[in-house]
Amino acid sequence: MQLGPYKLVNNLALAPMAGVTDLPFRLLCRRMGAGIAAGEMLTSDVRLWNTAKSRRRMDHSGESEPRIVQIAGGDPAMMVEAAQRNVDAGAQIIDINMGCPAKKVCNKAAGSALMKDEQLVREILDAVVKSVKVPVTLKMRTGWDRDHRNSVAIARMAEDIGVQALAIHGRTRACMYEGNAEYATIAEIATRVGIPVYANGDIDSPRKAKFVLEQTGAAGLMIGRSAQGRPWIFREINFFLETGRSCEEPSLVEVRDIMLVHLRDLHVFYGEEAGVRVARKHIDWYAKGRAQAHEFRHAVMQATDSQTQLERARDYFDALVESHDAVLDSVA
């Protein structure tokens, strides 16, 4: 799959998610098989960049090409400045966010709120595309609400302006993350534009991935929430699409080792106190659906230093491994 000058290793993308797709998680998902991974959404207001949070969001140290920065805002001039500054800092693709449904973003006429004003969308896309020499991509939803699905018109406009790829979440802004994603609109967009389209929304298994590709005719798939606590989903989907067969689920030992490396990376990236705090939600996702997860969560939430957190996470998965092995021995 080609995106601008970059030949991608596959057609799977990690969706940018605020508070989730930081550098450690992006690197992990790339190792697990994601072809590309955009950074967390960054405000276009450069006056707000002088914070530890924003500096971390702009950190792409050690990241494979292409390095993707997603920016959000509703003012064309501010979007241009944000795009140019990020390109100067090493961004190789600029992604424009018109998909975030969060109220704090939409209340500032950014994210998916922009889809209500197609003229402003045109001005932003045209200004950003003309201002940088790297590919510009666009992530959006199917529309503002069920009665105003205008993503086809915006997609065609974006292609005419020079946007080089689209990612479409199969819900309107009003839907937030409720209900089921619909793929008919994505399929229509894929037939109406000549640039790559990524389908996004509710892709939670290899078979669902194949289904969505067949239903939409999209060039690629974008995985978001389904990768939380399960970054190997990219490996599973790649294997299924290539072979038509399901690969083995990762063993508990492999899950434990993936998680521990991830936690250590978070501790280093954020520092002791913040790293422990950020790691909690990831540990929660890794434990989801497993035995005694509630008790484990409680124990982990009480850990206030990285060493204790790592030890409790390791002990929990070691106990799961022992229990699993004991069951196998009894059956044998």
- Which pLDDT score is estimated for 149? 82
Residues 63 and 200 in one domain: yes
- Which pLDDT score is estimated for 107? 44
Residues 14 and 97 in one domain: yes
Query: Which residue blocks in 132-224 are alpha helix, DSSP H?
Result: 151-161, 184-192, 206-216
Active-site residue among 29, 100, 106, 175?
A: 100
Residues 219 and 97 in one domain: yes
- Total domain count, the chain: 2
Query: Is 247 one of the annotated active-site residues of the chain?
Result: no
Number of H helices, E strands in the chain: 13, 11
Query: pLDDT tens string for the chain (332 positions)?
Result: 899 999 999 999 999 999 999 999 999 999 999 999 999 999 999 999 988 888 898 889 899 999 999 999 999 999 999 999 999 999 999 999 986 655 554 444 555 678 888 999 999 999 999 999 999 999 999 987 777 789 999 999 999 999 999 999 998 877 677 778 999 999 999 999 999 999 999 999 999 999 999 999 999 999 999 999 999 999 999 999 999 999 999 999 999 999 999 999 999 999 999 999 999 999 999 999 998 888 888 888 899 999 999 999 999 999 999 887 655 445 44
pTM (two decimals): 0.92
Alpha-carbon span 291 to 323, nearest angstrom: 10
Residues 21 and 38 in one domain: yes
Residues 225 and 195 in one domain: yes
Residues 317 and 229 in one domain: no
Where a domain ends, among 191, 218, 243? 243
Residues 39 and 141 in one domain: yes
- Which pLDDT score is estimated for 106? 41
Alpha-carbon span 203 to 215, nearest angstrom: 12
Where a domain ends, among 208, 243, 278? 243
Full domain range(s) for residue 321? 252-331
- Which pLDDT score is estimated for 10? 97
Pairing of strands 2-3, 6-7: antiparallel
CB burial of 265-300 (b: ≥16 within 10 Å; e: otherwise) equals: bbbebbeeeebbebbbebbbbbbeeeeeeeebbebb
Instruction: Return the CATH number at 295.
Output: 1.10.1200
Count of other CB atoms within 10 angstroms of residue 307: 11
CA dist 162 → 131, 166, 236 (Å): 12, 11, 33
Instruction: Return the CATH number at 137.
Output: 3.20.20.70
- Which pLDDT score is estimated for 228? 98
Residues 274 and 160 in one domain: no
Where a domain ends, among 215, 243, 271? 243
What are the φ/ψ torsions at residue 302 (nearest 5 degrees)? -80, -15
Place of tokens 């009894």: 330
